[in-house]
Amino acid sequence: MTAEGLEEYAIEKILDERRQGHGYQYLVQWVGHRPEEDCWLPCHKLEECQALNVWLNGMVMCDSSFFPLGFDAPVCRLMLVEFYFLILLFLLTELSLIFLECEGV
């Protein structure tokens, strides 16, 4: 209970995220509550939330294992897509050079 008489709930961890409109929503697991009570909250409802900071920093606990830093943060996923795009571009360039060399033989 807060000083104003409102109930307070503690967040155990963030379980998932999804794009909603122009922002993100996060699936919240509450301390001491059953999984069916998990709910989606918009980012602005989670300001100064340690569980969100952990999620965004990529140290997300899932099935008792940690994923590497950044892999579950939206920005890092975008960077990963850019990385794969650069690899694809490199491979296509290499294939083009091989093809051109074969044509010149």
Q: For residue range 16-53, list pLDDT tens digits in order.
A: 888 888 888 999 999 999 999 999 999 888 888 888 88
Q: Domain range holding 80?
A: 73-105
Enter the pTM of the model. Answer: 0.52
Local confidence band at 67 (pLDDT 50, 70, 90 cut-offs):
very low
Q: How far apart are CA 86 and CA 25, in angstroms?
A: 29
Total domains in the fold of the chain = 2
60 and 78 fall within a common domain: no
Residues contacting 31, CB < 8 A, separation 6+: 9, 10, 11, 12
In the predicted structure, residue 15 carries a pLDDT above the cut 80? yes
Local confidence band at 66 (pLDDT 50, 70, 90 cut-offs):
very low
62 and 80 fall within a common domain: no
Q: What is the CATH number of the domain that holds 31?
A: 2.40.50.40
